[in-house]
Chains A and B, each alone.
Chain A
């Protein structure tokens, strides 16, 4: 193990195995995006080809339609156990981005996620977030304890060397971030190295592509001609725009993500 990608891969596998060994009722959050798809691949690597835990998708019903059909096909081909979570009550009451983007995210993503975790008694959830995505994720721990669904970001536990905190009192549950130290370009180089199958929305069609995937009303495309992994890597190496510039909820105000995430957003 001498190169950067191998080190990241080995570290992530170690984290995934630690969690699996220490916690019952583990699940992985999957958005069909590039990061959580890499996460799924790493889980399979950690368990010599198996995916011994369920996969959770939070469906807001506002997702880009292509994502849902791709999801169902992928799950079938890989024999995954899929849990779909959604806030049905809020949807029935007409929740949507027109009620305010952050309110909508809080209801259809955060609330849906928390109730799914409760319903399925999920003790710890793998989430494919990364430090370099935005500032509040930059401050995360690999293993992030959650008391009453909240992230106590001002008072996080020590995380020394490779020792993770799974010994906390029974009412605590955990978010686990095996990809925390990866960067956007690491993810793409790994997708290239491992030749991973990815949802085609990332590749340019008609001069545009998605750099980050979310709900259709709140996610914009970027102008791009990068239609292959190689071209995307080349594009990113010269880009000086942030990855989530196309994500409307981030731009609502400076601390939008900090507020959302302290309440339990992914």
Chain B
């Protein structure tokens, strides 16, 4: 790279709760770096005089009349400035909850976030919402500024209280907290130089933190990432030549490379990389808009992802994702939405797996986050890692309804798990598990049914038990609700009690497993870490996690135990999926959509699983095919 080329801008989005001082901070940066044209400053000065107020730096960004009259930021804008030879683009983001879609728009274009917190108020509702939005749009690094330190006489105690709280929240959302800087945007303290007002603060001032960030490598190492190009269009302006136009979103590609187009699975070799007329490149990297020519002609349409043959993207019609709802219209269960991912589009349906809904409304709407299952009409190509094609939007006919991040594909069962190797009882004299199993004519195993209340776990457990019993198997059901009347009667529904509940069930399952028994656990078990602990206790070769999935709204309408009603009336709090989290399994052995297949077909799917895992023998299963017709079982063996 030649030295005359300018370094790229570092794009910084400034977010925070309303009135915590975002626009004042940005205005301060602009005025003090002298980057605002004098006529723009003087027009704001004139306006402030007319209004009879002191100079308001926020007006430099809040250009709309309505914004200035009401003292709020309605929409995002961006301005560039330079400091110490470094170039920044500051993106202003509204703080009001109702403008979340503008805030999310702003954040989706940034490299790093600056979170402004009023030290007198600490983190507030929109602080958390903004932190989640940052994580959602793919930002990993956040600088926190604790503002209005002048209002608390530059008190370290006040600073520490806010700083500790926000560090914890960032950690929970897996964001990297680069620094926490005490400042006063109004007074200009600790922004451009270190302040002697706060001798207790030994860290860097804000601009220094920003400048050092820029020196870090935000342009990732292209050759270490898989190549991805999104195909925008195919041009045939010239008689002979067909150009495949698109943008490289990850990695690097060279002339002569073999590539595959997904989801069509067509293969080709790159003949030329045209950047622009008269300019052919030997290679292209992330960010380049290019037009490819291929060594032989193939028919393709917009929407494909181009990659190398050995590092293909996922191709699925179903995947799990985290979304933030930004539509004016709330989520309509069962309605048809369009997903746009890369340059592909498909109609799709959305099922909520879990969302933190307000019990009195229980509908996903503007500003709310949810984990969802997306089923598309056509196969879609995407990635599940942090780079490549991971972001998408969901659109209704009228608007962009949600922004999303692919979490994972619905994971396939890993075949041929290693046979039991763990010798759990070392002491001699006990009857070995193997001996029990020989006696029973089948192996022991634990089928762990997890899912929301009302998803159909208990119903399914009973059917499996009856089926196995009728075949002469040793089988037992451990039903979470029943155990809470006895073994776990001392436990409540806090996160800690839920963990303990799961631990006890797992320990009991292990004891039963060692008598060669097939254990059917029916338990909400909402936390991933608890289920992972259960897997450890039981042993992964005998632990079969089954995700009994059903859209939240259907669970609510079923409400077999009246829990949702109680939750709505406020009689009961902390129901998983509504007031408390439910973390769906990332790679269950089986996923059953109880809203789409009947309980008998669900039972047969579990029996098939036990068969494929050689817990039970083939002759048992051969009898079990009943008359439920064609069912939409989730293909658990999907190895491409």
* Inter-chain contacts of A141 with B (CB < 8 A): 105
Q: A148 within 8 Å of B by Cβ? A: no
Tell me the B400-441 residues at the A interface (CB within 8 Å). 400, 403
Pairs across A and B, CB under 8 Å, 24 listed? A1-B285, A1-B287, A2-B8, A4-B5, A6-B5, A6-B287, A10-B247, A14-B232, A21-B302, A46-B245, A132-B80, A156-B75, A157-B101, A158-B393, A158-B400, A160-B137, A160-B403, A161-B108, A165-B399, A167-B338, A167-B395, A168-B399, A258-B63, A258-B65
Within the complex, which residue of A47, A158, A245 is in contact with B235, where a contact is CB–CB below 8 Å? A47
If A3-B7, A163-B340 are given as contacts, then 9 extra A-B residue pairs at C-beta distance below 8 Å, sorted by A number, are A20-B233, A21-B233, A48-B291, A49-B278, A135-B63, A158-B326, A160-B400, A163-B400, A241-B38
Q: How far apart sit A161 and B107, CA to CA, in the bound complex (Å)? A: 9
Asked if B288 and A139 make an inter-chain contact with CB atoms under 8 angstroms apart, the answer reads: no
Tell me the A137-162 residues at the B interface (CB within 8 Å). 138-139, 141, 153-154, 156-162
Asked if B398 and A161 make an inter-chain contact with CB atoms under 8 angstroms apart, the answer reads: no
A-B pairs under 8 A by CB, number: 168
* Inter-chain contacts of A2 with B (CB < 8 A): 1, 5, 8, 219
Q: B205 within 8 Å of A by Cβ? A: no
Asked if A131 and B78 make an inter-chain contact with CB atoms under 8 angstroms apart, the answer reads: yes
Q: B355 within 8 Å of A by Cβ? A: no
Q: A88 within 8 Å of B by Cβ? A: no
Which residue of chain B is the closest to A7 with respect to CB atoms?
Answer: B8
Q: How far apart sit A206 and B66, CA to CA, in the bound complex (Å)? A: 43
Which residue of chain A is the closest to B6 with respect to CB atoms?
Answer: A4
Q: How far apart sit A167 and B400, CA to CA, in the bound complex (Å)? A: 9
Q: How far apart sit A11 and B288, CA to CA, in the bound complex (Å)? A: 8
Q: B102 within 8 Å of A by Cβ? A: yes
Tell me the A155-186 residues at the B interface (CB within 8 Å). 156-163, 165, 167-169, 181, 183
Within the complex, which residue of A139, A159, A245 is in contact with B64, where a contact is CB–CB below 8 Å? A139
* Inter-chain contacts of A9 with B (CB < 8 A): 289
Within the complex, which residue of B6, B37, B77, B246 is in contact with A138, where a contact is CB–CB below 8 Å? B77
Task: Mark each residue of chain B from 71 to 109: 1 if its CB lies under 8 Å from any CB of chain A, else 0.
Answer: 000111111100000010100000000000110110011
Asked if B5 and A153 make an inter-chain contact with CB atoms under 8 angstroms apart, the answer reads: no
Asked if A48 and B43 make an inter-chain contact with CB atoms under 8 angstroms apart, the answer reads: no
Within the complex, which residue of A3, A156, A167 is in contact with B102, where a contact is CB–CB below 8 Å? A156
Tell me the B475-505 residues at the A interface (CB within 8 Å). none
Q: How far apart sit A160 and B277, CA to CA, in the bound complex (Å)? A: 30
* Inter-chain contacts of A7 with B (CB < 8 A): 8, 287
Instruction: With A48-B274, A240-B34 as known contacts, state yes or no: A4 contacts B7, CB within 8 Å.
Output: yes
Asked if B64 and A135 make an inter-chain contact with CB atoms under 8 angstroms apart, the answer reads: yes
Asked if B277 and A45 make an inter-chain contact with CB atoms under 8 angstroms apart, the answer reads: yes
Asked if B289 and A14 make an inter-chain contact with CB atoms under 8 angstroms apart, the answer reads: yes
Using a CB–CB cutoff of 8 Å, the interface residues on chain A facing chain B are 1-7, 9-11, 13-14, 17-18, 20-21, 44-50, 52, 131-132, 134-136, 138-139, 141, 153-154, 156-163, 165, 167-169, 181, 183, 189, 239-243, 245, 254-255, 258
Asked if A138 and B8 make an inter-chain contact with CB atoms under 8 angstroms apart, the answer reads: no
* Inter-chain contacts of A239 with B (CB < 8 A): 37
Q: How far apart sit A5 and B340, CA to CA, in the bound complex (Å)? A: 28
Q: B171 within 8 Å of A by Cβ? A: no
Within the complex, which residue of B37, B74, B400 is in contact with A240, where a contact is CB–CB below 8 Å? B37
Closest Cβ–Cβ distance, residue B339 to chain A (whole Å): 10
Q: B39 within 8 Å of A by Cβ? A: yes
Q: How far apart sit A194 and B621, CA to CA, in the bound complex (Å)? A: 72
* Inter-chain contacts of A157 with B (CB < 8 A): 101, 399-400
Q: How far apart sit A13 and B102, CA to CA, in the bound complex (Å)? A: 24
Task: Mark each residue of chain B from 42 to 59: 1 if its CB lies under 8 Å from any CB of chain A, else 0.
Answer: 010001000000000000
Task: Mark each residue of chain B from 334 to 374: 1 if its CB lies under 8 Å from any CB of chain A, else 0.
Answer: 00001010010000000000000000000000000000000
Which residue of chain B is the closest to A136 with respect to CB atoms?
Answer: B63
Q: How far apart sit A245 and B291, CA to CA, in the bound complex (Å)? A: 40
* Inter-chain contacts of B40 with A (CB < 8 A): 135, 242
* Inter-chain contacts of A20 with B (CB < 8 A): 233
* Inter-chain contacts of B238 with A (CB < 8 A): 48
* Inter-chain contacts of B276 with A (CB < 8 A): 13, 45, 48-49
* Inter-chain contacts of A181 with B (CB < 8 A): 78, 89
Closest Cβ–Cβ distance, residue B246 to chain A (whole Å): 8
Q: B640 within 8 Å of A by Cβ? A: no
Within the complex, which residue of B34, B75, B79 is in contact with A153, where a contact is CB–CB below 8 Å? B75
Which residue of chain A is the closest to B243 with respect to CB atoms?
Answer: A48
The 10 closest A-B pairs by CB, nearest first: A135-B63, A49-B277, A3-B5, A242-B37, A13-B289, A158-B101, A45-B276, A138-B77, A21-B233, A1-B287
Closest Cβ–Cβ distance, residue A143 to chain B (whole Å): 11
* Inter-chain contacts of B108 with A (CB < 8 A): 160-161
Asked if A160 and B393 make an inter-chain contact with CB atoms under 8 angstroms apart, the answer reads: yes
Task: Mark each residue of chain B from 150 to 164: 1 if its CB lies under 8 Å from any CB of chain A, else 0.
Answer: 000000000000000
Within the complex, which residue of A3, A46, A131, A242 is in contact with B8, where a contact is CB–CB below 8 Å? A3
Within the complex, which residue of A17, A165, A167, A241 is in contact with B289, where a contact is CB–CB below 8 Å? A17
Which residue of chain B is the closest to A138 with respect to CB atoms?
Answer: B77
Q: How far apart sit A136 and B235, CA to CA, in the bound complex (Å)? A: 36
Kindly state the interface size class of chain B when it binds its partner. 35 or more
Instruction: With A1-B286, A5-B6 as known contacts, state yes or no: A245 contacts B80, CB within 8 Å.
Output: no
Q: How far apart sit A168 and B6, CA to CA, in the bound complex (Å)? A: 38
* Inter-chain contacts of B397 with A (CB < 8 A): 167, 169
* Inter-chain contacts of B80 with A (CB < 8 A): 132, 183
Which residue of chain B is the closest to A137 with respect to CB atoms?
Answer: B63
Q: B583 within 8 Å of A by Cβ? A: no
Which residue of chain A is the closest to B101 with respect to CB atoms?
Answer: A158
Closest Cβ–Cβ distance, residue A71 to chain B (whole Å): 23
Q: How far apart sit A243 and B78, CA to CA, in the bound complex (Å)? A: 17
* Inter-chain contacts of A47 with B (CB < 8 A): 235, 237
Q: How far apart sit A139 and B7, CA to CA, in the bound complex (Å)? A: 25
Instruction: With A157-B400, A158-B105, A158-B400 as known contacts, state yes or no: A258 contacts B64, CB within 8 Å.
Output: yes
Q: B9 within 8 Å of A by Cβ? A: yes
* Inter-chain contacts of A169 with B (CB < 8 A): 397-398
Q: How far apart sit A141 and B137, CA to CA, in the bound complex (Å)? A: 18
Q: B61 within 8 Å of A by Cβ? A: yes
Closest Cβ–Cβ distance, residue A261 to chain B (whole Å): 11
Closest Cβ–Cβ distance, residue A244 to chain B (whole Å): 9
Closest Cβ–Cβ distance, residue B623 to chain A (whole Å): 52
Q: Which of A17, A48, A138, A189 has the most CB of B within 10 A?
A: A48
Tell me the B271-298 residues at the A interface (CB within 8 Å). 274, 276-278, 285-289, 291
Closest Cβ–Cβ distance, residue B337 to chain A (whole Å): 11
Within the complex, which residue of B7, B104, B247 is in contact with A160, where a contact is CB–CB below 8 Å? B104
Task: Mark each residue of chain B from 504 to 524: 1 if its CB lies under 8 Å from any CB of chain A, else 0.
Answer: 000000000000000000000
Closest Cβ–Cβ distance, residue B44 to chain A (whole Å): 9
Q: How far apart sit A128 and B79, CA to CA, in the bound complex (Å)? A: 18
Asked if A139 and B75 make an inter-chain contact with CB atoms under 8 angstroms apart, the answer reads: yes
Within the complex, which residue of B63, B65, B233, B398 is in contact with A17, where a contact is CB–CB below 8 Å? B233
Q: How far apart sit A168 and B400, CA to CA, in the bound complex (Å)? A: 9
Which residue of chain B is the closest to A255 with respect to CB atoms?
Answer: B65
Q: How far apart sit A145 and B288, CA to CA, in the bound complex (Å)? A: 27
Tell me the B1-22 residues at the A interface (CB within 8 Å). 1, 5-9
Closest Cβ–Cβ distance, residue A56 to chain B (whole Å): 21
Closest Cβ–Cβ distance, residue A185 to chain B (whole Å): 9
Q: How far apart sit A162 and B393, CA to CA, in the bound complex (Å)? A: 10
Q: B391 within 8 Å of A by Cβ? A: yes
Asked if B79 and A132 make an inter-chain contact with CB atoms under 8 angstroms apart, the answer reads: yes
Q: How far apart sit A136 and B68, CA to CA, in the bound complex (Å)? A: 12
Q: How far apart sit A13 and B398, CA to CA, in the bound complex (Å)? A: 27
Q: How far apart sit A50 and B276, CA to CA, in the bound complex (Å)? A: 10
Asked if A154 and B64 make an inter-chain contact with CB atoms under 8 angstroms apart, the answer reads: yes
Asked if A14 and B105 make an inter-chain contact with CB atoms under 8 angstroms apart, the answer reads: no
Asked if A44 and B74 make an inter-chain contact with CB atoms under 8 angstroms apart, the answer reads: no
Q: Which of A17, A46, A139, A159 has the most CB of B within 10 A?
A: A139
Q: How far apart sit A167 and B399, CA to CA, in the bound complex (Å)? A: 8
Which residue of chain A is the closest to B392 with respect to CB atoms?
Answer: A163
* Inter-chain contacts of A131 with B (CB < 8 A): 77-79
Q: How far apart sit A52 and B233, CA to CA, in the bound complex (Å)? A: 14
